């Protein structure tokens, strides 16, 4: 638990952060809450030469209404999201997923953007962001650009950030007022890294017709997986038991999930099917 030598920079201004990123490039890593990066450094799996800490840059800490959505800054702690009434009322999916993210003590320091950028295939937030059609704002001294989750995630622990870029904020478009959200996951123990998980939001009208259905699964591929064919099957249709069965089967049929010591691919596939059923059944019942 002794990291390799590194230089620590603790800038207070965003411009300074971007300037440091530009000058150090690939040798630098952004340090936000450090809940994933620091253990990896302790095990020397990662050995960045420079750490650029966001922790003194308070201007990156915010939960702001922006246009038709809510923007969350790079330094905003997960616990702040968990406690935010604004998030609970307008982005209930994010709110519901928070208790599954790490443990309470890690959420006190861990950040939303840090977890998103880390791109762990078994992290909850990338799937939540995918299901919410989040916009990832990437900043560098060259300017800013915005990408979707599909564009941001390239593979396990890999994103599309250029060496001089940081994930400056993530913008979650607000859910329609009648939208319902479900977050479900299964793990070997009650609380810990999941084996499979599912984030879902959908609007269901009084005659059980679905609109704006979005489903994103974790643990079934290298990155979060939007289940677009399932979404299309559900869109505009009545959510019957038969449809739920059909959709959950069709959505998982072609999956080819990874195998590891916790579960084989077949198990992940089976459980993904179960979770889709659970999530859809839950929104019908509500």
Partner 1 sequence: MNAIDDWTLVGESILRREDAYLLRGQGKFVDDLPVPQNTVHLGFVCSPFAHANITGIDISRAVALPGVIDVLTGNDFVGDILPFKPDIKIEGYREISRPVVATDTVRFVGEYVAVVLAETPYIAQDAIELVDVEYDPLPAVARIEDALDREAPVIFESLGDNVIFKSHFETEGFADHFASVEHVLEGEFHLGRVTGVPIEPRGCLGVIDPVADSYTLWTTTQVPHVVRTAIADHLRLPESIIRVVTPAVGGGFGVKSHIYPDELIVVALMRRYRRAVKWIQDRREELLSDAHAREHIHRIKVAVDAEAVIQAVELKLQTNGGAYANYPFSCTLEATGAARMLPGPYRIRNYKYDVVSVVTNTAPTGAYRGTGQPSCFLAIESMMDRIGRELNIDPADVRLRNLVQPEEFPYVNAVGVRYDTGSYKESLEKALEISGYREYKNRQPKDRLIDGKYRGIGICNYTEVSGTGAPGWRVRGFAKMPGFDSSRVVIEPDGRVAVYLSQADAGQGHYTTFAQVAADRLGVAWSDVTVIEGDTSKTPFGTGTFASRGSVVGGGSIIRCCEKVSAKVKRIVGEMLEIDPSDLVLSDGRVYPLGTPDKGLTLKQVAETAYSMNDIAMPEGEEHGLEATDYYDPPMVTMANGTHVVQAAVDPGDGTVEIERYFIVHDCGRVINPMIVRGQIHGATAQGIGEALMEEIVYDEDGQLLNANLLDYVLPLVLDIPDMEIAHIETPSIDTVGGIKGTAEGGLTGAVPAVANAVCDALSGLGINISRVPLRPSFILAQIDKAAG
Report the distance separating Cα 94 and Cα 98, nearest Å.
6
Using CB under 8 A, pick the residue from 26, 142, 191, 249 that binds partner 1: 191
Least distance in angstroms from the C-beta of 193 to partner 1: 6
Which positions ≥6 away from 175 have C-beta within 8 Å? 90, 91, 92, 93, 132, 181, 201
**Shortest Cβ 64–partner 1 spacing (Å):** 34
Nearer to partner 1, 32 or 184 (CB): 184
266 lines the binding site for partner 1 (CB under 8 A): yes
Residues 91 to 150 in contact with partner 1, rule: CB under 8 A: none
Q: Compute the least distance from the CB of residue 22 to partner 1, in Å.
A: 29
Q: Under 8 Å CB-to-CB from 155, ≥6 apart: which residues?
A: 119, 222, 223
Nearest to 248, CA basis, from 231, 236, 225, 263: 231
Q: Contacting partner 1 (CB under 8 A), which of 67, 155, 192, 236?
A: 192
CB of 117 to partner 1, least distance (A): 19
Among 10, 267, 282, 284, binds partner 1 (CB under 8 A): 267
Task: Pick from 250, 255, 262, 284 the residue near partner 1 by CB under 8 A.
Answer: 262
Closest distance to partner 1 from the beta carbon of 179 (Å)? 25
Give the SS3 label for residue 24.
Answer: helix
Nearer to partner 1, 205 or 264 (CB): 264
Q: Specify the 3-state DSSP secondary structure of 170.
A: strand
Burial (CB < 10 A; 0-12, 13-18, 19+), residue 117, is buried
Cα→Cα distances 183→58, 108, 161, 276, 280, Å:
30, 21, 27, 10, 11
Among 195, 204, 217, 251, indicate the residue that binds partner 1 (CB under 8 A): 195
Conformational region of residue 118, where left means phi above 0, alpha means psi within -120 to 50, and beta covers everything else: alpha
Q: Please report, as residue ranges, which positions from 18 to 47 form the binding site for partner 1 (by CB under 8 A).
A: 43-44
Q: Any contact of residue 271 with partner 1 (CB under 8 A)?
A: yes
Q: Give every strand in the sheet of 210-218, ordered side by side.
A: 179-187, 194-204, 210-218, 225-226
- Closest separation between CB of residue 122 and partner 1, Å? 9
- Using the minimum distance from each CB to partner 1, give the nearer residue, 165 or 185: 185
Q: How far is CA 201 from CA 68, 127, 139, in A?
A: 17, 11, 29
152 contact partners, CB below 8 Å, separation of at least 6: 116, 136, 159, 160
Report in angstroms how near the CB of residue 268 gets to partner 1 at its nearest: 8
**Of positions 64, 144, 188, 240, contacts partner 1 by CB under 8 A:** 188
Q: Which of 61, 66, 108, 274 binds partner 1 (CB under 8 A)?
A: 274
Least distance to partner 1 from the beta carbon of 191, Å? 5
Contact residues for partner 1, defined by CB under 8 A: 1-5, 43-44, 186, 188-193, 195, 261-264, 266-267, 270-271, 274-275, 277-278
């Amino acid at each position: 638990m002794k990291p390799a030598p590194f230089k620590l920079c603790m800038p207070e201004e965003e411009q300074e952060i971007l300037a440091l990123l530009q000058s150090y490039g690939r040798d630098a890593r952004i340090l936000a809450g450090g809940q994933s990066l620091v253990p990896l450094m302790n095990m020397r799996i990662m050995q960045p030469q420079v750490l650029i800490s966001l922790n003194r840059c308070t201007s990156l800490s915010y939960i702001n209404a922006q246009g038709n959505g809510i923007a969350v800054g790079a330094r905003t702690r997960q616990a702040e999201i968990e406690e935010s009434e604004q998030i609970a009322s307008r982005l209930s999916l994010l709110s519901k997923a928070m208790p599954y993210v790490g443990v309470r003590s890690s959420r006190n320091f861990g950040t939303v953007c840090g977890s998103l950028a880390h791109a762990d295939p078994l992290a909850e937030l990338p799937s939540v962001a995918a299901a919410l059609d989040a916009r990832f704002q990437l900043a560098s001294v060259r300017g800013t650009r915005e990408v979707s989750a599909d564009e941001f995630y390239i593979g396990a622990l890999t994103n599309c950030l250029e060496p001089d870029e940081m994930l400056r904020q993530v913008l979650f478009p607000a859910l329609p007022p009648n939208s319902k959200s479900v977050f479900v996951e299964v793990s070997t123990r009650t609380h810990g890294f999941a084996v499979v998980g599912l984030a879902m939001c959908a609007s269901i009208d009084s005659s059980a017709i679905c609109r704006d259905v979005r489903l994103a699964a974790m643990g079934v591929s290298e990155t979060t997986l939007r289940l677009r064919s399932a979404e299309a099957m559900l869109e505009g249709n009545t959510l019957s038991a038969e449809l739920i069965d059909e959709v959950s089967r069709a959505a998982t049929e072609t999956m080819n999930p990874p195998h590891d010591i916790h579960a084989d691919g077949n198990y992940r596939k089976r459980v993904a099917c179960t979770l889709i059923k659970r999530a859809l059944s839950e929104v019908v019942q509500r």
